[in-house]
Amino acid sequence: MGSGRSHGMSERERVTVAGVSVSVDHYVGGRRVSSPTTFEDRSPLDWSTVLAEVSAGDSDVADAAVTAATDAFEGWAALGPAGRAPHLRRLAEKIDQRVPDIAAVECVDMAMRHESLRNRVIGRGARNFRAYADLAEQHEERTWSSNGTANRVQRLPAGPVVVITPWNAPFMLATWKVAPALAAGNPVVLKPAEWSPLSASLLADLADEAGLPPGVLNVVQGIGSEVGPTLTSDPRVRRISFTGSPETARLIGASAAANIVPFTAELGGKGALVVFADSDLEAAARTAAGQYDDSGQVCLAATRLLVEESAADEFLERFGAHVDAHVLGDSHDDATTITPMIHPVHLARVEEFVERARAAGDTIVRGGRRHTPDGLWYEPTLISPVSNDSEIVQHEVFGPVLTFQTFADEDEAVALANSTAYGLSATLFTGSADRAERVGSALRAGTTWVNCFLVRDLTAPFGGLGISGLGREGGDHALEFHADLKTLQIRDDTTT
Ligand code: NAD
């Protein structure tokens, strides 16, 4: 690594995870920085082993990181989109070169499937940086004449940004949020989740190798409730970009409100998968069973299966066959689809959800228990609720737990689909183009897929309705969020 010196405490020895050297320290102002205390990072694949003792950030480190980002702001902003783009493209190249290493670390740290990490998910990180380098460069200021003036809308870089990310798909989600901030001219302090902190540390290495100016990307490790509030309440921070749970978003929103700082929140979901009898039932059933992939630890997962009554039996038969084909196992094995839950605390949370559903009279159709006494795997579970008001229908579980309900007609389908407080994504299967248009438009969700699932275009707006989020990421929407828009009006007869 390039400048990797430490200040404060001496730099901790790097650890080797899956054969890859990873720093357990923060990265602040282009240097590795230790904290006096650490937190343990373990692998969901083997909970008995400590992967790393990671520096636990405190208010000193948070302050140093925001100072570094503030100091870097003027120079980074002054480069303009064309000056910043080569930095971002070099970082993308570094990511591409290290996909196998990042995938290896992420697989052990978060236990996402290695096959999807190495073939799709990590590479998307490089694409995020390239896409935002392109988008920022291609942006043209809006200009027009009115009232005897020439008008221009300028996008001014806003200032230091705090990016806070969750433990699922941590590398992809971090790059998705860091890339537009940097492209827009804003230095970043990234706080990854404490349950999967390692790939963010690799991102800091790569930023260093790519020659990003010191302070443009900083990484602060630590427990969210300890280091997070210092970061989000610092008045020098001009944007907060958060992905995680609604509970944490409320706390961060209060910090943002205190400083009058815009923030985006990408939060949980409780997506419906609406299946009409006229649809390709095989494709619908396969997609439904696919919601158990990575044990349902996916915000976009369609966890409420809503099926037209007349197709329910056939759908369930086909669905059952696909669920039977799932393979619960080690995330390194390409055959595995059901990976372990991230953490014993999260596994217990999932178990409690199902136990409460059982106690409330909901029917556990299949699964409903942990797989082994010692591992963190939970069986793919299907629940038929007593009512649409059941907790298991109305609240995000974030595990391999789906609910099954039927509907009689379109109106009931839409009413059920739109009946939760969430609105991140919805999925619809139908063979009718009219219905695709009609019901697709009626489903209240930031993204609605019809006869497909998880197809994403990076330029499309992305975000949630209701308690699924605030603001939009994706394409120009993220660049706009990270800019202070300014209208410059010059009277037509102004002469030099
Ligand atoms: P979480 O809210 O517990 O934690 C998210 C991040 O916030 C972590 O980095 C954590 O350390 C930090 N944090 C915790 N308390 C904080 C505080 N007081 N101040 C500042 N930061 C704090 O969420 P999680 O359990 O890590 O993630 C799972 C949730 O994220 C689920 O609800 C899931 O649906 C959601 N999610 C949403 C999307 C999306 O794009 N909409 C994507 C992935 C995950």
CA 106 to ligand 1 center in whole angstroms: 17
* Predicted local confidence at residue 5, as pLDDT: 38
CA 86 to ligand 1 center in whole angstroms: 31
Cβ atoms of residues 394 and 420 within 8 Å: yes
CA 267 to ligand 1 center in whole angstroms: 7
The atom of ligand 1 lying closest to the CA of 462 is 40
Measured CA to CA, the distance from residue 421 to residue 250 in angstroms comes to 15
Best probe residue, ligand 1, of 164, 189, 227, 456 (max atoms within 8 Å of C-beta)? 164
Cβ atoms of residues 158 and 69 within 8 Å: no
User: What phi and psi values does residue 75 have, to the nearest 5 degrees?
Assistant: -65, -40
Of all protein residues, the one whose alpha carbon is nearest to atom 18 of ligand 1 is 225
- Please report, as a single letter, which amino acid is at residue 49: T
Measured CA to CA, the distance from residue 53 to residue 56 in angstroms comes to 9
Measured CA to CA, the distance from residue 242 to residue 263 in angstroms comes to 7
* Predicted local confidence at residue 4, as pLDDT: 38
Cβ atoms of residues 306 and 415 within 8 Å: no
Look up the pTM and report it. 0.96
Ligand 1 pocket by Cβ (under 6 Å): 164-168, 173, 191, 193-194, 224-225, 228-229, 232, 243-245, 248, 251-252, 266-269, 299, 396, 398, 424, 464, 469
User: What phi and psi values does residue 170 have, to the nearest 5 degrees?
Assistant: -65, -40
Measured CA to CA, the distance from residue 396 to residue 394 in angstroms comes to 7
Using the Cα atoms of residue 375, residue 376, residue 382 and residue 387 in order, give the sign of their dihedral: positive
Return the C-alpha torsion angle 40, 176, 161, 259, nearest 10. Answer: -90
The stretch 45-53 carries a mean pLDDT of 95
The stretch 253-277 carries a mean pLDDT of 97
Measured CA to CA, the distance from residue 392 to residue 262 in angstroms comes to 33
Residues with catalytic roles: 266, 299
SS3 of residue 54 by DSSP: strand
Of all protein residues, the one whose alpha carbon is nearest to atom 20 of ligand 1 is 228
The stretch 207-211 carries a mean pLDDT of 98
- Please report, as a single letter, which amino acid is at residue 12: R
CA 300 to ligand 1 center in whole angstroms: 14
Give strand pairing partners of 33. 7, 26
The atom of ligand 1 lying closest to the CA of 231 is 20
Share of the chain above pLDDT 70, in %: 98
Measured CA to CA, the distance from residue 265 to residue 252 in angstroms comes to 9
Measured CA to CA, the distance from residue 453 to residue 299 in angstroms comes to 13
Comparing 45 with 6, the larger pLDDT belongs to 45
- Please report, as a single letter, which amino acid is at residue 23: S
Of all protein residues, the one whose alpha carbon is nearest to atom 12 of ligand 1 is 224
Give per-residue pLDDT as tens, 128-152: 999 999 999 999 999 999 999 999 9
Of all protein residues, the one whose alpha carbon is nearest to atom 33 of ligand 1 is 268
- The DSSP H or E segment spanning 50 is strand 46-55
CA 126 to ligand 1 center in whole angstroms: 23
What would the two tokens of residue 434 be? 């009219």
